[in-house]
Amino acid sequence: MTDLAKITEEMKARVGENSGLGASVKFDFKGDGIVYVDGKSVPNSVSNEDKPADCTIKIAKDDFIALGDGKLNPTTAFMMGKIKVEGNMGVAMKLQTIFK
């Protein structure tokens, strides 16, 4: 299984059927693929489709894995420029509940 496939499966588990996001989020791994979370529909869905989202988060795949493992603090990563957020910042803030 590729890193992207593992990330996609883990995101499905984290999001579950109803994440409470109420929005769509696209994780752009800078040329290493996309993970798209549709948190508007119930059940929520996760795919590798590259389509418009309410919030796009650009992050290196390794940094994303470190976030998921708790080795990288989201606020610190944002301040260091490791995470770039486009669109609705409020949606990005809600993601912290998924990564706890």
Tell me which residue of 22, 28, 4, 21 sits closest to 84, measured CA to CA: 28
Residue 81 backbone zone (phi > 0: left; psi -120 to 50: alpha; other: beta): left
Contact 62, 27 (CB under 8 A): no
Give the residue extent of every domain in the chain.
3-95
What's the CATH code, domain 3-95? 3.30.1050.10
Query: What's the pLDDT at 76?
Result: 92
User: Model confidence at 2, in pLDDT bands (50, 70, 90)?
Assistant: confident
Query: What's the pLDDT at 96?
Result: 80
Could you read off the pLDDT of 7-35 as tens digits, one per residue? 999 999 999 998 889 999 999 999 999 99
Contact 17, 37 (CB under 8 A): no
Could you read off the pLDDT of 41-50 as tens digits, one per residue? 999 999 999 9
Query: What's the pLDDT at 43?
Result: 94
Could you read off the pLDDT of 40-94 as tens digits, one per residue? 999 999 999 999 999 999 999 999 999 888 899 888 999 999 999 999 999 998 8
Query: What's the pLDDT at 95?
Result: 86
